[in-house]
A = this chain, B = another copy of it.
Amino acid sequence: MQLVTEDNITDLAAARWATAHDPRTAELMSALVRHLHAFAREVRLTEAEWMAAVQWLNRTGQISDEKREEFILTSDVLGLSMLVVQMNQRLDPRATPATVLGPFHIDGSPELGYGEDMSEGVRGTPLFLHGRVVDLEGNPVGGAVLDVWQADDDGLYETQHAEVDEARLRAKYTSREDGAFAIRTVAPLGYTIPMDGPVGDLISRTDISEYRPAHFHVRFDVPGYRPLITHLFQEGADYLDSDVVFGVKEQLVVHYEPHEGGTFPDGTPVEGPWFEATYDFVLQPA
């Protein structure tokens, strides 16, 4: 009979899972067994703690649906998401760095033209963000689609609103032949991650700040270039030093130049205060 003991169970379990038919699955599962067991041994996990973990996972699964990705949030706040991004996106230092996807991307955003407004009906300070999409040598990348999404002035994404019938604060912009693009929106604000679930429960038992600094998300999937998922952050924003999901990169912080009235850079008249930001996205060839 196979005698299972506290000493040999890790080797037994790792060896079993190494029988996975796909070699990569075998590698992943055995390594998972070893690290999970090492964790349990290091902290000498109690049975009550084990049960609390099971119940936490159950709650996390129950609160998750198409609109709420509590497991992604878990990975984000543990720094795992950003670790995985960085391991897989070791880009040329000249390229715009990648950061976390986050749980709020929606496929199929509407296509807008140069400088068109993706923030209609949403309160906030107008922001005109323009620049170029270029390659590592600075050559223009025309026809690049910028899939952009951001939170509203309540810190909520479209997926967090129960009833929204139109696309809200998300759009696809396309760079012109000379690589130029222009996004018109409202300046995003910092926001808190959802704190009413199991991740919030954990965070609230620590000194961790639950906020993300003001940012919007951009996703590129341009033929011939590596796909890029990134953010732009506002220079001087709160929480840049404490982003709860570890997503901030220095190269992704952009200055917002304040203006008052006049016209946007594309000539459209504007009243009251607004911001202009300039940023060049640098894509790495595939």
User: Which chain A residues have a beta carbon within 8 Å of chain B's beta carbons?
Assistant: 1-6, 9-10, 12-13, 16-17, 19-22, 25-29, 31-33, 35-47, 49-50, 54, 57-58, 60-62, 64, 69, 71-72, 75, 78-88, 90, 202, 205-208, 240-242, 246-250, 253
Contacts and interface: CB of A to CB of B under 8 A. Distances in A.
B25 A205 contact: yes
Tell me if A's interface is mostly helix, strand, loop or mixed: helix
A75 B40 CA distance: 12
Given A83-B40, A85-B47, A242 B33 contact: no
A64 B58 contact: yes
A75 B50 contact: yes
Contacts of A43: 27-28, 31
A21 B205 CA distance: 6
A80 to B, nearest CB: 6
Contacts of A240: 1-2
Contacts of A12: 79, 246
Given A39-B31, A61-B62, A240-B1, A9 B250 contact: no
* A1, A5, A37: most-surrounded residue (chain B CB, <10 A): A1
Given A2-B242, A61-B58, A69-B54, A17 B208 contact: yes
A1 to B, nearest CB: 5
A184 B252 CA distance: 71
A13 B79 contact: yes
Contact of A37 (B46, B83, B85): B83
Nearest to A82: B9
Contact of A6 (B58, B61, B83, B253): B83
